[in-house]
Chains A and B, each alone.
Chain A
Amino acid sequence: MTATTTTTAQQSPGNQQPGRVHTMTARVQHMARAQAMQIVLVWLGIVAVFTALAPGAFFDVANFRNIAISVSILAILGVGTTFIIVTGGIDLSMGSVLVFSGVVSSLVMQSIGDGQGWFVSTIGICVALFAGLAWGLLNGVLVAKAKVPPMIVTLGTFVAALGLAQVLTGGLDLRAAPEVLVDSVGFGDVLGVPSLVIISAAVVIIGIILLNRTRFGLHTSAVGSNAEACRRVGINVDRQLIKVYAFAGLLAGLAGLLNLAFFRSTTIAGHSLTNLDVIAGVVIGGTSLFGGVGSVFGTVIGLLIPATLRNGFVILGVEPYWQQVVVGAFLIGAVYVDQARRAAAARNTTRKTLFGQLFRRNSEHK
């Protein structure tokens, strides 16, 4: 195959040394994962700083437990949102869908017998999941079939789901939840690990496997990467989008039930900014807003960072508002890194360090 070999060598005038090709390959390979790892390092750095400043109070099992609980419901929403953003879409509705699912579930459980026991709880769980799924399907159909931009669709369902929840309750929070549900799911634990955290971790692991190992995950990335190419190879793009939005809705329904079990309240007014918190977490975690590539694990870390900052600032007595300032800066920084990565990919090179870029510019100007 002389011709082939010649072609290879000539096709890549810059990369003739095999060694260099190999390291470049390795670098490109790990780039998506690298951003997730960078963000883990950032989180560990934050943990280290707070540990140094408040060793007793911060670096404590009970405190990490608090942080984990505060993230668990957001992480469940984050898994669904990661899938949606990987398709190139966005979901603003999840906070309201969460509230709506909790409200409907609470109303149904209240109306059955004395509203207690596992039978009632099971029905409540199913109702919450179904309510979330229904909103997700509506989002998906409007995005895929009616071709309304995802931001508008989910902004509409965000407002509408909250409105319906308020219609159903007259605007007053419901507090009806079976004791067994609150005791086992809301405040229960298994071997010292809170149930909420276990459920959340299970959803996250399923999300990671689904996105990276299954056809569903691959098609989610492919649709976000190049929908037209998917159509040409016979993938039903519309159906894939509907499935993804339905999946995210189902998870929002689950989050609604957990929220009800934990707070013993439907927290109607408490989720107006949840969507922004979750989207910020997804983006900080390295999922590209332009679709095609994302990391569920990164999302979890991206949600842990604001939660850890909030927790640490409270312990240190810093005004917790500063947390918002820092998270805002993180968000913009994460998108900057993503943009730089995309630009590097478009230029057909690996991402250069800032230092390397400066050096190169200098040498070119000479």
Chain B
Amino acid sequence: MSTPLYEARGISRSFGSVQALQGADFDVRPGEVSALIGDNGAGKSTLVRILSGADKPDAGEILFKGEPISLETPTDARVRGIETVFQDLALANHLDPIQNMYLGRELPRSGVLGKLGFMDRAQMREVGQAAFADLGATVRDFESPVGGMSGGQRQAIAVARAAAWANEVIFFDEPTAALGVVQTKGVLDLIRRIRDKGIGVVLISHSMPHVLDVADRVHVLRHGRRATVMNTADTNVEELVGAMTGALDGKEAAA
């Protein structure tokens, strides 16, 4: 087994009297899909927020490539090649797909024009379209505002944007929750392609079939702790639900 690319050890986080995380562990390896499941309130969202730099833990360690790191802002995660696809997609609806992809990372023109804030739009368009094509993300229209596109298209754009910048780890927070059957299949295919590039993929999902379909390992979070980790090949929906609800307490599967 390869060493973890990104790892959380003993993460705790409280909000007032609510203990969202109580010493949670998590890890993802390069080139695998590591699913994170758990009942509502198990602490999935809090853990993802902490690992993407949007929130800070009260206690515990975050290790990136074996080195302890501290994330003050999402930018600290992003400069390390760690990207997140949020459930609300975080797209600017009035901008086109390329502008969304490069938002906050626009390529300046060379020379004086670049200093004046002019952007190298031709370069961004070319590289951006190549990045979409590279993932097989089927964006039909690079010129229109994304607000007028279908849910599946917008999802594909948000995923491709994250994938274009994530060269280490990518988090998907409920990527299929709002999608139909066909669009879901498209997104799961995208996830596989990203994994095949050697990137560590973290999938947060409520959907057991999708998790079993695409994940290599499943981390089950319960009451703010990792209840168990299972290899997808060795488990099934009943076992996962059992771990989520606590019906299988006492059984700790080895990773």
Interface residues of A (CB under 8 A from B): 1, 3-4, 7-8, 10-12, 21, 25, 28-29, 210, 213-216, 218, 221-222, 224-226, 228-230, 232-235, 292-293, 345-346, 348, 350
B16 at the interface (CB under 8 A from A): no
Residues of B within 8 A of A21 (CB): 140-141
Query: Contact partner of A214 among B90, B117, B153, B189, CB < 8 A?
Result: B117
The A/B interface has a contact count, at CB < 8 Å, of 113
Q: Which of B78, B88, B99, B145 contacts A218 (CB 8 A)?
A: B99
B214 within 8 A of A: no
In the complex where A4-B138, A7-B138, A225-B94 touch, is A233 in contact with B149 (Cβ < 8 A)?
A: no
Residues of A within 8 A of B73 (CB): 234
Contact B116 A214 (CB under 8 A): yes
**Which single member of A11, A28, A210, A229 contacts B148 (CB below 8 Å)?**
A28
Asked if B3 lies at the interface with its beta carbon under 8 angstroms from chain A, I say: no
Known: A25-B143, A224-B94. A235 touches B149 (CB 8 A): no
Once A222-B92, A229-B92, A348-B149 are accepted as A-B contacts, the answer to whether A215 and B103 lie under 8 Å apart by CB is no
9 A-B pairs with C-beta separation under 8 A: A11-B152, A11-B182, A214-B118, A218-B95, A221-B94, A222-B103, A230-B92, A232-B54, A234-B73
Residues of chain B lying within 8 A (CB to CB) of residue A213: 118-119, 121
* Other 16 A-B pairs with CB < 8 A, given A12-B140, A25-B143, A221-B95: A4-B138, A7-B138, A7-B182, A11-B153, A11-B186, A21-B141, A28-B141, A213-B119, A218-B103, A232-B74, A233-B78, A234-B74, A235-B103, A292-B93, A292-B94, A348-B150
Scan residues 146-187 of chain B and give those whose CB is less than 8 A from a CB of chain A: 147-150, 152-153, 182-183, 185-186
Across the interface, A28 reaches (CB within 8 A) one of B54, B145, B186, namely: B145
| Complex A-B, nearest 6 residue pairs according to Cβ-Cβ distance, in ascending order | A292-B94, A233-B104, A229-B90, A225-B92, A214-B117, A225-B94
Residues of B close to A28: CB separation below 8 A? 141, 144-145, 148
B147 cross-chain contacts in A, Cβ below 8 A: 225, 345-346
> What secondary structure prevails in chain B residues at the interface with A?
loop
Give which listed residue, A1, A8, A222, contacts B140 with CB less than 8 A: A8
> Please, what's the 1-or-0 string for B86-109, where 1 marks a CB less than 8 Å from any CB in chain A?
101011111100010001111010
Which of A7, A25, A226 is in CB contact (< 8 Å) with B90? Answer: A226
In the complex, the answer to whether A29 meets B118 with C-beta atoms within 8 Å is no
Nearest CB on B from A224, distance (A): 7
Main secondary structure of the interface of A (DSSP, over half): helix
When the two chains form their complex, are residues B148 and A348 in contact, meaning their CB atoms are under 8 A apart? yes
A66 to B155, CA, bound (A): 52
The residue from A11, A215, A230, A345 contacting B117, defined by CB atoms under 8 A apart:
A215
**CB of B75 within 8 A of chain A?**
yes
Q: Assess whether B242 is interfacial by the CB under 8 Å rule.
A: no
Chain B, 179-205, contact with A by CB distance < 8 Å: what is the 0/1 string? 000110110010000000000000000
